[in-house]
Amino acid sequence: MMERNEKAAIIRMFHVFKRFGKKNALVDITLDIFKNEFVFICGPSGAGKSTLLKLLYLGETLSEGQILIEGVNISRIQRKKIPLLRREFGIVFQDFKLIPTKTVFENVALVLEAKGKKSSVTQKKVKSVLRIVGIEKKLNAFPPTLSGGEQQRVAVARAVVGEPKIILADEPTGSLDIVSADVIIDLLDKFHSRGATVIMATHNESLPNKINGRVIHLREGHLETLTAGRQD
């Protein structure tokens, strides 16, 4: 058993504030997330969960404080290098954000094509990931013909196909029935066991019971409690 402080932090937040005009969306957040953790960010709607995730991949810029990702201060990253930072992340959204006019295969393949991978490599890798998420039979289907649960599996495949170090999931089960939601959580846990750090935002306080992860509570932009749930 390892003590937490012996483990390397992959993400460090120091006194982070985010304001939208006069609205304090995040207030004085200091938080370390360790390599290969599964972290739930829980809190009611408006607590600041999505904002926190957006700050990590520079979807928003912070108002005050510092965020280090693998030791790099992300506020200092040059604009043209931001896409490189984003490649560290695989992101899953509540509304899937698949391209409706592209097939399942094409939606997932895009990630690797953008990285300039050879088409033979892309074929193999995409098929393998679609198999892992259990949707390989639908590779030629278009997203609008799939159920919500199936679309979210495709979105998970797209998030992980580039083997990102960090998977961010923002209410990934928010539009799914309970059975499909469980499948998605199990999939995230599967990629967590393969080495990814997973950060999942949810307003559903009962979801963390399904996984042995750390639970962080946000309320009105404040970090409420740090529950140590790690047992590795």
Residues at the contact surface with ligand ADP, assessed by CB under 6 A: 20, 23, 25, 43, 45-51
Residue closer to Mg ion (CB basis): 204 or 212: 204
- Contact (Cβ atoms closer than 8 angstroms) between residue 194 and residue 163: no
Distance CA 128, CA 190 (A): 14
Residue closer to Mg ion (CB basis): 50 or 197: 50
- Contact (Cβ atoms closer than 8 angstroms) between residue 105 and residue 182: no
Residues in the chain: 232
Number of H helices, E strands in the chain: 6, 10
Q: How far is the CB of 56 from ligand ADP (least distance, A)?
A: 12
When CB distances are held under 5 to 8 angstroms depending on the partner's kind, the choice from Mg ion, ligand ADP, none that residue 23 binds is ligand ADP
202: contact with Mg ion by CB under 5 A: no
Residue closer to Mg ion (CB basis): 50 or 122: 50
Contact pattern for Mg ion over residues 2 through 41, marking x by CB under 5 A: ----------------------------------------
When CB distances are held under 5 to 8 angstroms depending on the partner's kind, the choice from Mg ion, ligand ADP, none that residue 137 binds is none
Q: How far is the CB of 20 from ligand ADP (least distance, A)?
A: 3
50: contact with Mg ion by CB under 5 A: yes
Distance CA 65, CA 59 (A): 16
Residue closer to ligand ADP (CB basis): 87 or 203: 203
- Contact (Cβ atoms closer than 8 angstroms) between residue 162 and residue 112: yes
Give me 99's structure tokens.
């391209």
CA distances from 55 to 96, 114, 174, 227 (A): 20, 23, 21, 22
Residues that bind Mg ion (CB under 5 A): 49-50
